[in-house]
Amino acid sequence: MRRGAWHQFGDRSQRLALEQLQYGAGVGVIISPRDLSYGRATEYAQQYGDAGADILVDQQFHVPESAAGQLESYPIADKRTAVSSLNQVSDSVLAGLSADLSEINNAFRASAVLAPAVVYEAGRPDIVELNLKLFGASKAVAETLGIPCYATVFLGSSATAADLTAEVVVSAATALPADGWYFAFEFNAGRIPSSAAQVARYLRTGLLLAGTGLPVLHAYVGPLAPLALACGGTGTGIGHSQNLWQFTRARWTPAEGGGGGGDAPPRYFSKALWGTIIYEDEFALLSPSERRW
């Protein structure tokens, strides 16, 4: 796993990622099936590879029954169903999953296989068992392709609510024979995590993964990227949209209502405030001395 910043895909970030890679910003790209169709994604992957980036494909199996965005355009789409059904998955279905993963990672010239996995929750041994099966299908593909296999370790809100529940889940996940970890932590609502206790728990969890001696790629890390690297992270997945600044399952649930009111205004990120200032409306209200923050 290459050390540094990885472009975490979201809505309308494909061209932006390419431009930054061409100027030497970033070491890799994490393809997002939700926001980019399979055909278009393979075209962009060629360009990213030509720009020197490593490529990973996050199958976004976090909410496996979701059909949001472009998920249905991918070969793995027919394997998406409720967790209760996936718990009964047969060997033939797992073989089909392996075939799909092989096709996808070949098409993208991926540097490693990201094993699909359901979000881990506290007190859910069935999810631990399911993710073990999904990882096994992924590991077989990685061995055939001759590339590493990273286990997806996304902790849901019930697992991140206390140190003990987070540690139990990580203990189960790190039993997998992985070559690295693709890690995310579900915080409470808000663009930037504001609970010191939760941020500390996130860092301790990252340290537990790094303590295995394997590389850790922090997904959807946003402004917490410097802290992720400080707690043993190898890579940080960063996206330009605010809904990529931390992991939330809301992106994979159907939207209600008639939609938003257009593009959000540009924002300036203040290190001193550790927050954003709307540009130009709020920025214009600052004095010259305040703007130097």
- We report the CATH number of the domain holding residue 84 as 3.20.20.70
- Regarding whether 201 and 140 lie in a shared domain, the answer is yes
Q: How far is CA 122 from CA 134, 167, 246, in A?
A: 19, 10, 20
Residues 90 and 133 in one domain: yes
Parent domain of 229: 4-255
User: Is there a single domain that holds both residue 141 and residue 90?
Assistant: yes
Compute, in degrees rounded to 10, the torsion defined by CA atoms 59, 201, 250, 217: -20
Token pair, residue 283, equals: 């920025």
Alpha-carbon gap, residue 128 to 126, rounded angstroms: 5
pLDDT of residue 142: 96
Shared domain for 165 and 286, answered yes or no, is: no
Q: Are residues 83 and 55 in the same domain?
A: yes
Report the candidate in 192, 114, 190, 117 with the shortest Cα–Cα distance to residue 159.
Answer: 117
Backbone Cα Rg of the chain: 19
- Residue 67 and residue 154 share a domain: yes
55 and 186 assigned to the same domain: yes
Both 23 and 128 in a single domain? yes
pLDDT of residue 255: 57
Rounded to the nearest 5°, which phi and psi values hold at 283?
-60, -35
Bridge-based pairing of strands 235-238 and 267-270 is: unpaired
Percent of all residues in the chain with a pLDDT value above 90, rounded to a whole number: 58
Supply the pLDDT for residue 261. 47
**pLDDT at res. 282:** 76
pLDDT value of position 254: 61
DSSP 8-state secondary structure symbol assigned to residue 179:
S
Supply 122's token pair: 């506290």
Residues with pLDDT less than 70, the chain: 189, 254-264, 269, 271-275, 292-293
Q: Is 293 exposed, middle or buried (0-12, 13-18, 19+ CB in 10 A)?
A: exposed
